[in-house]
């Protein structure tokens, strides 16, 4: 839509509507820590896959599942790099050779295939406690084609781990100094190929990537909950859940995912891009919202409901260039309203000359044109009504003398007569410049302390 607004005019309100569609597409990617201690939770995930699909299916049947695992960079001091440990990092059983991140299954609705792939996951191992979680998150989000994220879907990444994470700068311990580039790097085996040449990503990079790709994250953690709660504060659309085994029904993977998805579909938050000189206020007005007057609408159930928002747009400057405002639901930027804003800096009558009255009688019998209610005089004419010419500039002197006065001083001697009207010098006023505004005393640097209440008349 297009709006034409005047600067400093604030009452430019429009009403927009949002409706959460039924059966909206949902993509869920399970990203699991592949260490020995996480094996029971991987087994639970395989057993609960059908129940998870059923829970999500109660809200949307248009869902897909994907799966990947992670450990840490295969280099000292993060991983034991002795030849024997590179083949089998576990002590008393056969494990998978170490790696940092591997994408295993692209998005699919085939729960039988998903269950089989998860069940056949081989555990691995490393040395230090922190894991390469942030590297794994970066690859899982940015490798869109490999993962199979669908355009326009609600995206939910579930990271399950029992330990803390490495941060940007930790790679220096292994001589890795090149910063993370925030891009996808998977080899033919779908493993992260830059783990030995790029440092771990920073939290700010993770934040930017999550916002850009509109991904929600569940940090399902067994230990180190407080550390992940700090991460939750910095990464939007994320939440920390306690990871428990399937015996704890309230904290099972099934319940964790169901809670997060219901939260995703029970709230809509309207946002907009920032434009210099443009002020935008968005307020929910629908009765279904728990609270009105903010850009957020929360309710127990929003699927299929139409929600109204009042949008107030104002501009503070006159820019000749059109500006584009985009209003969108958080995490659903593709469903946006685009508003083209043009500033009206002039009156229409100044640019539409078909409204002008040429040779107007109101301009001293046709000595000028009437434009927007004012006379624009022809050449050699001037004055409010084009009543003056260059030849009669000094004419009409008698009209500049005060009636009944014997004085022959034009404009009381402190002004000039032009076309029968007095043009007074600074400090003098009145029809005949008869008032001396400077004769009264000053108080607080103003005549008579403010408004002129006393004047000296000659």
Domain holding 110: CATH number?
3.40.50.410
Residue 106 in contact with residue 67, Cβ under 8 Å?
A: no
Contact by Cβ (8 Å): 156, 29: yes
pLDDT tier for residue 142 given thresholds of 50, 70 and 90: very high
More confident residue, 286 or 420: 286
Please indicate, yes or no, whether residues 230 and 148 belong to a single structural domain of this protein.
yes
Q: What integer pLDDT is reported at residue 330 of this predicted model? A: 78
Enclosing H/E stretch for 442? strand 442-443
Average pLDDT over residues 388-412: 72
CATH of the domain at 334: 2.60.40.1510
Residue 413 gets which letter from DSSP? Answer: G
Domain boundary among the residues 206, 235, 265 is at 265
R_g (Cα) of the chain, nearest Å: 38
- Do 71 and 180 lie in one domain? The reply is yes
The Cα–Cα gap between 152 and 335 comes to 8
Q: What is the mean pLDDT of the chain?
A: 84
Is residue 259 domain-shared with residue 127, that is, in the same domain? Answer: yes
CB 128 within 8 A of CB 72: yes
**Residue 437 backbone phi and psi in degrees, to 5:** -70, -15
**Residue 11 domain-assigned (yes or no):** yes
Q: Phi then psi for 178, rounded to 5 degrees?
A: -65, 130
Which three-class secondary structure string do you get for 219-253? EEECCCHHHHHHHHHHCCCEEEEECCCCCCHHHCH
pLDDT band for 331, please (50, 70, 90 cuts): low
**Which residues have C-beta within 8 Å of that of residue 152, sequence separation ≥ 6?**
25, 334
- Asked if pLDDT for residue 48 goes beyond 90, the answer is no
257 and 204 in a common domain: yes
Average pLDDT (66-81) is 92
Enter the DSSP assignment of 132. -
Q: Is the pLDDT of residue 456 over 50?
A: no
Six-digit token string for 55: 């829970």
**What's the confidence (pLDDT) of residue 86?**
87
Provide the domain count of the chain: 4
Nearest 5°: phi and psi at 29?
-115, 120
pLDDT > 70: percent of the chain: 90
**Does the residue 32 lie in any domain?**
yes
Same domain flag for 74 and 186:
yes
CATH number at residue 378: 2.10.25.10
Report the range of poorest mean pLDDT among 81-90, 98-107, 240-249: 240-249
Q: State whether 115 and 206 are in the same domain.
A: yes
Question: What integer is the mean pLDDT of 228-257?
Answer: 78
Q: What stretch of H or E contains 102?
A: strand 101-108
Average pLDDT over residues 153-172: 92
Do 143 and 222 belong together in one domain?
Answer: yes
- If one compares 183 and 320, the residue with the highest pLDDT of the two is 183
Model confidence, pTM: 0.66
pLDDT at 222: 81
Last residue of some domain: 246, 265, 284?
265
Per-residue pLDDT at 210: 95
Q: How confident is the model at residue 232 (pLDDT cuts 50, 70, 90)?
A: very high
Domain end, chosen from 265, 284, 313, is at 265
CA distance 345 to 304: 42
Residue 453 has pLDDT above 60, yes or no: no
User: Could you tell me if 100 and 216 lie in one domain?
Assistant: yes
- Say yes or no: 109 and 227 in one domain: yes
pLDDT above 70 (res 393)? no
Q: Is residue 388 part of a domain?
A: yes
Q: Which is more confident, 8 or 243?
A: 243
Q: Are residues 249 and 283 in the same domain?
A: no
Q: Which secondary-structure segment (H or E) carries 315?
A: strand 306-315
- Rounded CA separation 415/422 (Å): 6
Specify the pLDDT at position 140. 97
- Say if residues 322 and 342 touch (Cβ distance below 8 Å): yes
In the predicted structure, residue 416 carries a pLDDT above the cut 90: no
Q: What is the pLDDT of residues 346-356, one digit of tens each?
A: 766 766 667 78
pLDDT of residue 454: 46
Instruction: Indicate whether 258 pLDDT > 90.
Output: no
293 & 241 share domain? no
Assess if residue 399 is contained within a domain.
no
Q: How confident is the model at residue 432 (pLDDT cuts 50, 70, 90)?
A: confident
Q: pLDDT digits over 337-385, tens only?
A: 999 988 877 766 766 667 788 888 889 888 898 888 888 888 888 877 8
pLDDT digits (tens, 9 = 90+) for 90-113: 877 888 889 999 999 999 999 889
CA distances from 130 to 264, 339, 393 (A): 30, 47, 91
**pLDDT top residue among 275 and 444:** 275
- 42 shares its domain with 84: yes
- Evaluate if residue 9 carries a pLDDT over 70: no
Q: Is residue 400 part of a domain?
A: no
Look at the alpha carbons of 146, 150, 151, 157 in this order and tell me if their dihedral is positive or negative.
negative
**Contact between 134 and 121 (Cβ < 8 Å):** no
Q: Does pLDDT of 144 surpass 90?
A: yes
Q: What is the mean pLDDT of residues 131-135?
A: 94
Q: What is the mean pLDDT of residues 41-62?
A: 77
Domain span including residue 126 = 26-265
Report if residue 398 sits inside a domain.
no
Question: Both tokens of residue 124?
Answer: 């691995």
Q: Residue 7 — pLDDT band, cuts 50, 70, 90?
A: low
């Amino acid at each position: 839509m297009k709006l034409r607004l005047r600067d400093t005019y604030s009452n430019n309100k429009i009403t927009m509507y949002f409706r959460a569609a039924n059966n909206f597409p949902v993509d869920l990617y399970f990203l699991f820590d592949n260490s020995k201690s996480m094996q029971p939770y991987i087994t639970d995930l395989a057993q609960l896959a059908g129940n998870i699909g059923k829970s999500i299916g109660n809200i949307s049947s248009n869902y897909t599942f994907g799966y990947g695992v992670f450990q840490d960079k295969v280099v000292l001091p993060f991983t034991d790099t002795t030849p024997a440990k590179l083949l089998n990092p576990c002590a008393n059983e056969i494990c998978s050779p170490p790696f940092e991140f591997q994408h295993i299954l692209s998005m699919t609705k085939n729960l039988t295939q998903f269950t089989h792939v998860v069940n056949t996951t081989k555990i691995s191992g490393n040395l230090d406690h922190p894991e390469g979680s942030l590297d794994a998150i970066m690859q899982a989000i940015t490798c869109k084609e490999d993962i199979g994220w669908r355009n326009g879907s609600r995206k939910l990444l579930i990271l399950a781990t029992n330990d803390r994470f490495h941060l940007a700068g930790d790679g220096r311990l292994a001589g890795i100094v090149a910063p993370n580039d925030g891009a996808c790097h998977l080899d033919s085996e779908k493993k992260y190929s830059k783990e030995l040449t790029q440092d771990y990503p920073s939290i700010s990079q993770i934040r930017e990537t999550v916002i850009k790709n509109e991904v929600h994250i569940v940090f399902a953690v067994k230990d180190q909950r407080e550390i992940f709660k700090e991460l939750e504060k910095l990464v939007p659309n994320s939440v920390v859940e306690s990871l428990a085994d399937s015996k704890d029904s309230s904290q099972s993977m099934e319940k964790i995912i169901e809670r997060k998805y219901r939260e995703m579909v029970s709230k809509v938050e309207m946002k907009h891009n920032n434009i210099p000189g443009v002020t935008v206020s968005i307020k929910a007005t629908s009765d279904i919202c728990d609270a009105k007057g903010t850009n957020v609408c929360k309710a127990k159930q929003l699927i299929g409901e139409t929600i109204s928002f009042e949008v107030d747009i104002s501009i503070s400057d006159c820019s000749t260039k059109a500006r584009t405002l985009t209003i969108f639901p958080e995490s659903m930027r593709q469903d946006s309203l685009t508003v083209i804003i043009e500033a009206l800096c002039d009156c229409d009558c100044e640019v539409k000359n078909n409204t002008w009255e040429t040779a107007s009688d109101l301009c001293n019998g046709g000595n000028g044109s009437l434009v927007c209610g004012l006379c624009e005089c022809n050449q050699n004419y001037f004055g409010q009504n084009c009543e003056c010419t260059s030849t009669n500039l000094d004419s009409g002197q008698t009209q500049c003398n005060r009636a009944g006065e014997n004085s022959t001083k034009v404009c009381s001697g402190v002004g000039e007569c032009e076309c029968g009207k007095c043009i007074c010098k600074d400090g003098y006023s009145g029809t005949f410049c008869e008032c001396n505004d400077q004769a009264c005393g000053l108080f607080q640097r103003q005549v008579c302390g403010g408004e002129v209440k006393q004047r000296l008349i000659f």
